[in-house]
Structure 1
Amino acid sequence: MKPARQLNNSSKPFPNQQSTLMLPILQKTNTYGLGCGHTFTNAYGLPMREFICYHHEMVLIKESPKKVVLPPPEGGQTPFVPSFRVTERMLEEFHKAVEEVEAKRLKYTFTTLSKDDTSSMRGRGWEDAFGTSDKAEAGRRARALGMEMEWLPGGGVKTILGPGSLTEVFGGRKGRRMWFNTVVDMHGKETSSAMLADGTEIPETFVKRCEQIIEEESIQFKWEKGDVLFLDNMALLHGRRPSLPPRKVLVATCK
């Protein structure tokens, strides 16, 4: 078994342990004794040519996990972002707007078809998402996750989530406010929306600047054969750069 290696292959310099940044991921390792329970892989073949937006894993459900990611063979770098840095910078530029959104809270909607559309980054069908083709059972599972559902003509469904927070503070992370939402990913899209809980639209300038800040704060992790990447899902946003096929990603979630 090879020893753990300090991360040193990012396009942005990686801070040392004395830095005030204190990233929650400090090393990558070739150790495979994960002890994290079930391992998952891509369930419906998201197009590898597209970028997967920065996100906290399962940010919209009641219990978001920590995450372990195993690498692709070529391309598909995993960029990640210290979530509290996004909050800090958004507060610097949009202090009043951030606190207003926090006070009013967020609502999300997402519309899906019945079957998967693997040509689309947003093509996961509700049968795959909820693991059943029975509408009543899908409804029960949605409610358990805190979602409402509206069935649409043609077999699709609109899911509604909220109210939710813009930021969160988790124990053991120095009281920092994490940018724990999916506004950038869902705002103003063809099949999804992110708005205030009262139905008020979030200003486009707010969302676009947030997207820019997230990219500016990103650190690019370049995979090497045998790497295992441990991410603190409560503290890091992560994404995926476009990749060349074949690509297989295994993910273990840990509480």
Structure 2
Amino acid sequence: MNMRMLTPERLRLEAGFPLRVQPGQAGVSLAAEIDALRSIVNHSLERDGAILFSGFTPEGVEGFQRFAASFGHPLLNYEFGSTPRSQVDGKGVYTSTEYPAHRSIPLHNEQAYTTEWPMRIFFYCAKAAVSGGETPIADSRRVFQRISPALRKRFEEKRLMYVRNYGNGLDLTWQQVFNTDRHSDVEDYCRSRGIQCDWNEDGDLRTRQLVQGVAQHPRTRDWVWFNQAHLFHLSNLDEEMQEILLDTVGEEGLPRNVYYGDGSPLEADALAEIRGVLSECEVVFPWQTGDVLMLDNMLTAHSRKPFSGERKVVVAMAEGVSGNTLHTLS
């Protein structure tokens, strides 16, 4: 279908990654053009992987929540998270990862460390930073293609085992991750998702989960690089922090780590290759206050640059998918 048939003259499309959608005149809100914007998303998101809605009149967090919820899927709760987030005004809207401003967050696909993830993820820039604070993206199809065939094969066949130890002041507590204070709730959640969970005598929790290293998009059928091995692996930390953690809790007690599915260690050169390819595929664009970025989470990875000054970017997620069966969850 010709995009000109879908796009009113009052909207402007700029090809690229991300695809940029802008109003043709000032004072136009996302809500006012929602029908046309849904048509653009339905036609373009799974082709382009990322759409940036820029230049529309900011409508605040509540307006963003309504926009994100208007595409036919209820917004998801942030469950089994790996980073600290706080819910903000508006159901299903959370702060972006609460991480020190001077640190960067590597490229990753949301919740690719487990077997359930959102197919769509939305970011709203409520306030752009004075400097930095961009949300770079990368085409996960391109990343997959650039990873060497031998490494792709290892990740596909061996899969990955993520190991997490909660609390001890080193990472999120299990109460934060599972949104409960009850051991039985945690055990039920883990049992239903094939997560091995063990409590030690101090009441602390360790989980292990065997998950995918690569994945196939259920609709486009594209193969994508889909994991967080480079982020969970101990080598993601600086050398001083690695030494401190190993001396303090040992490898078994690390807050998080990742292995091949058979328990064998990931090779240093494999992790270096992954990080190198991600760096090559990174695309950076500046935020403007009021911008909304919509991603197909399987097709596009995202990250965060360091920043100075106040920055407020919030997130919503929708259309939960199970990697075990790749069916849409109700």
* TM-score (ref. length: structure 2): 0.63
> In 1, Cα distance between the equivalents of 2:175 and 2:307?
27
* Percent pairwise identity: 23
Please state whether the residue corresponding to 2:157 is helix, strand or coil. Answer: helix
- Tell me by how many angstroms 1:126 deviates: 1.3
Structure 2 gaps, min length 5:
1-9, 21-46, 58-63, 76-91, 236-253, 320-330
In the alignment, structure 1 residue 63 sits paired with structure 2 residue 110: no
Amino acid paired to 1:143: R
Q: Equivalents in 2 of 1:151, 1:7: separation in Å?
A: 51
9 and 67 in structure 1: CA distance in 2 versus 1, 3 angstrom threshold:
closer
Q: Do the aligned residues in 2 keep the contact of 1:70 with 1:251 (CA within 8 Å)?
A: yes
Note the C-alpha offset of 1:143.
2.9
Secondary structure at the aligned position of 1:254 is classed as: strand
**Which deviations, in whole Å up to 9, do the C-alpha atoms of 1:77-135 show, x marking residues without a partner?**
101110111111113xxx22321332122111112206xx5xx7xx3221111111222
In the TM superposition, residue 254 of structure 1 has moved relative to its aligned partner by: 1.7
In proportion to residue count, which structure has more helix? Answer: 2
**1:7-59, Cα deviation, whole Å (9 max, x unpaired):** 7799xxx9xxxxxxx63224424384332533322388332322122111122
Tell me the secondary structure at the aligned position of residue 150 of structure 2: helix
* Secondary structure of 2:312 counterpart: coil
Assess, with a 3 A threshold, how the Cα gap between structure 1 residues 83 and 43 changes in structure 2: closer, same or farther. closer
Change (3 A) 1:241 1:153: farther
User: What is the aligned partner in structure 2 of residue 19 from structure 1?
Assistant: none
2:213 to 141, 166, 169: 166
Instruction: Give the count of matched residue pairs.
Output: 234
Structure 2 CA distance, aligned partners of 1:9 and 1:165?
26
Distance apart, 1:153 and its partner CA = 5.0
Match of 2:287 in 1: 223
Which of 185, 189, 201 in structure 1 is aligned with 2:231?
Answer: 185
- What is residue 87 of structure 1 aligned with on the other side? 144
Please, what is the CA RMSD of the aligned residues?
2.8
Residues 5, 27 of structure 1: 8 Å contact kept: no
Residue 73 (str. 1) matches residue 128 (str. 2): yes
2:99 pairs with 1:99: no
AA paired with 2:302?
H
The two structures have a TM-score, normalised by structure 1, of 0.80
Runs (5+) with no aligned partner, structure 1: 15-21
SS in 1 for 2:154: helix
In the other structure, the counterpart of 1:148 is 196
Instruction: Determine whether 1:25 maps to 2:71.
Output: no
1:77 aligned partner, one-letter code: E
Task: Flag the 1:201–1:44 CA change in 2: closer, same or farther, 3 A.
Answer: closer
